Structure formats: structure tokens, C-alpha cells
Chains A and B, each alone.
Chain A
Amino acid sequence: MSRINQIAEKAAAANRKLLIPYLVAGDPNLQTTSALMHKLVQQGADIIELGIPFSDPSSDGPIIQRGVERALAKGTTLKQVLELVAEFRETDADTGIVLMGYLNPIEIMGYKTFAEAASASGVDGVLTVDLPPMEAGELNAMMRAVEVDTIFLVAPTTREERVASITEHCSGYLYYVSLKGVTGAALTDFDSVTANINKLRAQTALPIVIGFGIKDAESAAAMGKLADGVIIGSALVEKIGLLADQVEHDAEMLSDTIKVISEAREALDKLV
């Protein structure tokens, strides 16, 4: 059983909602990302989605675009992101790590090299935003061979007859995109999310987590009620954008940066 499966099962048994922060690796530098990751775990993160910086993030809104630009300004590469995970694993064997990004850096590294390095570094899952299931066969097979989960998105626009082909390729958890748009947009249509999650439940036993547009304790609670967990990205990356580009930050400063995560944890824990 994969680490993500174990985390999800344990959470389900304890009636705990999964809290999944997203941050861009290397924003504003790799040392700070590392410190933030440990801090996020202390504040109740179950899984961390680590963004692989890419020059052309066409599914992301301006906040994450700027985070990516900061990481790229430091020359952050996929290889370094994998090294960051390996270093994190030296002291944390419990938290799930999912790499989220676009296909080209993986394509240029080579699928096999990437799969082996991801597994060796302690990566638990990979979510490639611009790689839909029908193009994912080869990469998926290689990730499965090294027991790394492959996570896919379902969007409000996803046709019902397509869901089966997505869940067939998906393992770990299913990521439901709450809105039509890019990351960081405003989430307004709670009713359609409810309806769509209910439909998805009938089609898959995978844990379902909701992302896009969750920005505070209130929206985390509203979405957490519907799903097995929530992802918070832009609201966190926006705060990270305020950090100075220095290697050491005082603990209080980092706690303040990730306050949205501790508040979301509290709100999610009150749900049960």
C-alpha cells in the first residue's frame, strides 16, 4: 500500500480531513521551501504538493505564476526538486509528497530517469497538469512500476462518460478542480461542486480532494465538508511571496507565512 493510501486510510478511520498545501519548490529559494515544508507538517499538513517550476504555467493564475518566476530566477530545476524531497525524507517518513507540474521538464529528463529518481527520493505521487489520461499511458506505466501514485484532475467541465477513463489511470487521490479557470480564481459556485462531488462518489472509491479557489478557513471548511480533503495553493504562495529571499527565516515569520494552513486545519478539525 502506498504512503498516500496509508495516509488517506488512517485519516478516514480517524474522521480527519486531509489538508494538502501547495507551494512552489525553490520559491524564494530551496532552503526556505525545505523549512516551510517541515513547518507545514507541524501545522497539520497530511500531504504536501510541491510545484515543479516551469517557464510556461498555462493553467496557473498570476499568484502561482509569480511564485514560479521567483523559483526560476533562482535557477531551480527538477533535479533539485527531487533532491529537496530526498533531504526532506531524511527526517520525515510520514508526510505524503506529491510533485505537481507540467510535462516538459519530465519529458526532457526522460520518463524512466524521472520515475526512478522520484521513487528513490521518496516522492509518493505525481500530478502532471497538462498530461491527460489519454496521453499518459507511458509515463503512468513507469510511475506504477516504481510504486509512485499518478494523480489526475476532474474539472467541472469533465464529461460524465470520461470520468471512468480518468479514475482508471488515477491512484492515491482524485483531485477535483472546483471551478472553471486557473489557480487562485474566486470560488463561487458551491452548489455545482456539491452535485459533482456526489456524482463522482458514485463512480469511484478513490479519496476525493478539492482544489482551486480555497483561500481561507471558511472555504476550507465548506469544501472539506464535501470531500476527503482540501488543497490550498495560491493563498499560501501569495504569503510566501512576501518572504525575503534569504536562507534563514525566524520561526515566527514562517509560522505567520503559513497561518492560512493552521487556520484551515483548525476549521477542518471542527467539522467532525
Chain B
Amino acid sequence: MAKPEESAAVVDPAVFDGPDASGHFGPYGGVFVGETLIAAVEELAEVYAELSADKNFWAEYDAELKHYVGRPSPLYFAERLTDSAGGANIYLKREDLNHTGAHKVNNTIGQALLAKHMGKTRIIAETGAGQHGVASATVAAKLGLECHVYMGAEDIIRQAPNVYRMKLLGANVISVESGSRTLKDAMNEALRDWATNVDNTYYIIGTVAGPHPYPKLVRDFQCVIGREAREQSLEQIGRLPDALVACVGGGSNAIGLFHPFLKDESVAMYGVEAGGHGLATGEHAAPLSAGCAPGVLHGNRTYLMSDEAGQILETHSISAGLDYPGVGPEHSWLKDMRRVNYVDATDDEAMKAFHQLTRLEGIIPALESSHAVAYAMKLAATLPQDKNIVINLSGRGDKDIETVAKIEGIEL
């Protein structure tokens, strides 16, 4: 296991100020979409550049986070979990307590405000676990916008409660039957929809991937997590945490927690990918920790799971929200800069952590977040008791109880 001090990077802090004007984090990121969509992403970049420099826009966003989402989310000291791990203190950043039950809403609120400013009347989104779909359907309902959510047919089966939730919110959930019928295929279909309906449609991408400016703007909207965690740590612990741990699928909750700490050299960071059945089996969703090569998919260059002929590989994870062959381009850059340690937790480890947190703290975590909990407990055990770890508890696990019951052979 990597120790926090191993991650101490000796680099110019300016490397963390990306992306550059054309959307690149070093060699990663960029704009790799068909010509039909170029004008749309350029328009979005222009509008975002303008609005993000406008105090009133952020005031509007902050007000929504406070009164609608319920922020700030607590930083909770998990005492019994800490005792069980037997080492460093473990704190949970409680994104599971947000309205809609995950960090996703931080981003959808922000993007819905952008859509409103741009005069778009129709929202589309892709979703894996359904959390981003629910968060998109929620803000669409709130703002009175038409909403269509693309979801892989496989995920629709795995995440039935969220599908129903989206329908209750008035969204049209479209089952995607092509390819591996999971998140990546939902994203392909959303891109096709966008190219067709580009005039009136805003595409809310759910993670820090896609063509520029998405990786930047989604990060900016998620950074509220890290900004709060930083303040709360200073207030509650009296200093910065020693380590941050977050799960990484596309990587939006992780970048949201990490980014405000990137220039704090003393803070180690661990991005936990889905190890699935184990990295050696090839059945995982861990492009960073499994040592995959960079490639291009869904609008950006990033580390990517593809075969030797360049075809995107099917991934495996117990959690639909991590089941994606790529990762946000900024994470690829942070890997190369050795600022963040990218590691993995297997399906079994995540399941065990799911139960531990539930029984020890009375908090049912999402299976995605359970990956972070699993790794953090291992990490805590290697550290002395005066060290402090913050886990991003990115979502709650109500949506997963059917999956968990099924794996354990229990009929509900």
C-alpha cells in the first residue's frame, strides 16, 4: 500500500491551474467531437467564461446550494469506523446528505443555471447508476425544463428504483441497447441526440469528462465539496487532513474534494477506482491504476481501457456509477504529476465496506462510495492515531439495496 509521503510531489504548483485556454491538462482533455457539435461546445465555453467571472452567477448558485441542496454538508467524525480500522481518524464528508442523495446535484444545479442563461428549453443527460439522471431530472423539474435521460439497458435493470424516481420527476428515460448497454453507450446516444437537437438542447454531462469546457465547469461546480471540507477540517480538527480518499469513475466527486487541496503539499490524495474482480482478471473499471494507455473517447484524451486495436473494452464493476472505461482528463494529468495516488478496491472489498459502514455508523453508503471506504480503512490501519483521513462519502446506498440483496441471495 502506498504511504501518504510517497505522493509528495515536487512540481510547480502552477501545473494544477489547468486547463489551458483550449481545454488541455498537459496532453489530456481537449475537444474531440464531430463538427456538428463544435459550435455548441464553443458557445458553452464562451458563456461559461463570461458567467463564471460574474459574482451574481455564483451568488445564485450558492443560494441554490444552501436552500435547495441543503449545503454545507457535514464533515462527520466516524468514531466506530475509526476504532474498527485501528489507526488514523476517519472523517466522512457527507455528500450523501445532499438533496437527491449524492454529490451529483452540485453539478446539475450549476449546469441547469447555465442552460437557463443560454435560453435552452430541453435538457439531456446520460446516467450510469442513475444518480446523475435523478439529479438532472430534479433540476429540470425545478426549472420547468423538458428532460431526457439516456441510460444503458443493463443499468436500467441494476438501478430500477432510480429509473422510477426519474420518471416520477417527469423525465423521459431512454433505454440504450447498443454496445455494452452501460454508461459509455448512454453517453454515445446523448451525443447523437445533442447533434440532432443542438439548437434548443443543453447536454448536462455528469462527470469531469467530455469535450472542453465540461471537465473544467463540472470540476468548478463540484469544488464546493473540497472548499467546505477544507474549512471544516481547520475548524473541527484544527489543521488540514493528512489524506483524502474518494472513489473515481469519471471522477467528479474526487476532483471536487481534491482540487481545493492540490497546492497543499502535506495532504496526500487517493483516488480509488473500481477493481471489479481484481485488476489481474481484466474485469474492472480502473484505467489509471491498471496502467492503461491514453486514448480518445467522448470528446477528450485520457487514460482509457481499450484493446490493442483501439476498441473500447467492456468494463466490470459491482457499482454502475464506476462502470466506465475512461476517466476525467484532469485525473490523468494528476496521475502523471504524481499528485494523486490512483489505487483500486475490488467488488468484494467494496461490499465488505458497505456493510461495515452501515453497521458501525448507521450510514448506508452507495456502492460507489463504498470503494473509497474500503481503501480508506486499509490506509487508516497503516497510519498513526494522530493522523486524519477525509473520505468523500459521495452518495447514499438506498438505490443499491436491491443489488446487495441479490448478490447475497436475499429476496426482498
Q: Which residues of B contact A109 (CB under 8 A)?
A: 310
Q: Which residues of A contact B198 (CB under 8 A)?
A: 157, 180
Is A159 within 8 A of B42, CB to CB? yes
Is A132 within 8 A of B306, CB to CB? no
User: Which of B179, B187, B304, B309 is within 8 Å of A79, CB to CB?
Assistant: B309
Of residues 63 to 111 in A, which have CB atoms within 8 Å of B's CB atoms? 65, 69, 72, 77-79, 102-109
Q: A104-B296, A108-B310 are in contact. Are A180 and B184 (CB under 8 A)?
A: no
Is A59 interfacial (CB 8 A cutoff)? yes
Q: Mark B266-286, 1 if CB is under 8 A from A, else 0.
A: 000000000000000000000
State in angstroms the CA–CA spacing of A55 and B296 once bound together: 12
State in angstroms the CA–CA spacing of A161 and B358 once bound together: 57
Q: A104-B297, A108-B295 are in contact. Are A158 and B38 (CB under 8 A)?
A: yes
Is B263 interfacial (CB 8 A cutoff)? no
Of residues 15 to 37 in B, which have CB atoms within 8 Å of A's CB atoms? 22, 30-37
Is A210 interfacial (CB 8 A cutoff)? no
Is A173 interfacial (CB 8 A cutoff)? no
Q: Which residues of A contact B40 (CB under 8 A)?
A: 157
- Tell me which of B65-73, B91-99, B189-197, B389-397 binds A: B189-197
Q: Which residues of A contact B191 (CB under 8 A)?
A: 58-59
Is A55 within 8 A of B312, CB to CB? yes
Q: Mark B195-227, 1 if CB is under 8 A from A, else 0.
A: 111110000000000000000000000000000
Q: A107-B295, A157-B40, A180-B198 are in contact. Are A152 and B179 (CB under 8 A)?
A: no
Chain B residues touching A, majority SS: mixed
Among A102, A130, A158, chain B packs the most CB atoms within 10 A around the CB of A130
State in angstroms the CA–CA spacing of A181 and B191 once bound together: 10
Q: Which residues of B contact A166 (CB under 8 A)?
A: 35
Among A104, A109, A181, chain B packs the most CB atoms within 10 A around the CB of A104
User: Which of A69, A104, A162, A181 is within 8 Å of B310, CB to CB?
Assistant: A104
Tell me the minimal C-beta distance from A189 to chain B in angstroms: 12
Q: A57-B188, A104-B306, A104-B312 are in contact. Are A157 and B38 (CB under 8 A)?
A: yes
Tell me the minimal C-beta distance from B177 to chain A in angstroms: 10
Q: Which residues of B contact A61 (CB under 8 A)?
A: 192
Is B235 interfacial (CB 8 A cutoff)? no
Of residues 149 to 178 in A, which have CB atoms within 8 Å of B's CB atoms? 152-159, 162, 166, 177
Is B311 interfacial (CB 8 A cutoff)? yes
Q: Which residues of A contact B192 (CB under 8 A)?
A: 58-61, 181-182
Is A54 interfacial (CB 8 A cutoff)? yes
A-side interface residues, number (CB < 8 Å): 44
Q: A58-B188, A182-B192 are in contact. Are A134 and B22 (CB under 8 A)?
A: yes
Is A59 within 8 A of B34, CB to CB? yes
From A175, which residue of chain B is reached at the shortest CB distance? B35
State in angstroms the CA–CA spacing of A132 and B306 once bound together: 22
Q: Which residues of B contact A182 (CB under 8 A)?
A: 192, 195-196
Is B195 within 8 A of A180, CB to CB? yes
Q: Which residues of B contact A162 (CB under 8 A)?
A: 38-39
Is B335 interfacial (CB 8 A cutoff)? no
Q: Which residues of A contact B311 (CB under 8 A)?
A: 54-55, 72, 104-105
Is A78 within 8 A of B309, CB to CB? yes
Is A129 interfacial (CB 8 A cutoff)? yes
State in angstroms the CA–CA spacing of A68 and B42 once bound together: 30
Q: A104-B312, A107-B310, A108-B310 are in contact. Are A157 and B36 (CB under 8 A)?
A: yes
Q: Which residues of A contact B184 (CB under 8 A)?
A: 56
Tell me the minimal C-beta distance from B31 to chain A in angstroms: 6
User: Which of B35, B185, B197, B293 is within 8 Å of A108, CB to CB?
Assistant: B293
Is B52 interfacial (CB 8 A cutoff)? no
Tell me the minimal C-beta distance from A88 to chain B in angstroms: 20
Tell me the minimal C-beta distance from A134 to chain B in angstroms: 7
Q: A135-B30, A177-B36 are in contact. Are A104 and B195 (CB under 8 A)?
A: no
Is A206 interfacial (CB 8 A cutoff)? no
Q: Which residues of B contact A57 (CB under 8 A)?
A: 188
Is B196 within 8 A of A135, CB to CB? no
Of residues 9 to 61 in A, which have CB atoms within 8 Å of B's CB atoms? 54-61
Is B32 within 8 A of A130, CB to CB? yes
User: Which of A69, A108, A152 is within 8 Å of B306, CB to CB?
Assistant: A108
Q: Which residues of B contact A58 (CB under 8 A)?
A: 34, 187-188, 191-192, 298
Is B178 interfacial (CB 8 A cutoff)? yes
Q: Which residues of A contact B297 (CB under 8 A)?
A: 56, 104
Interchain residue pairs with CB less than 8 A apart (17): A55-B311, A56-B179, A58-B191, A59-B34, A69-B178, A78-B310, A103-B32, A103-B296, A104-B297, A104-B311, A108-B308, A132-B33, A155-B36, A157-B198, A159-B39, A180-B195, A180-B198
B contacts, CB < 8 Å to A: 22, 30-40, 42, 178-179, 184-185, 187-188, 191-192, 195-199, 293-299, 301, 304, 306, 308-312
- Pairs A-B, 7 closest by C-beta atoms: A105-B310, A108-B310, A181-B196, A77-B309, A153-B35, A59-B34, A58-B188
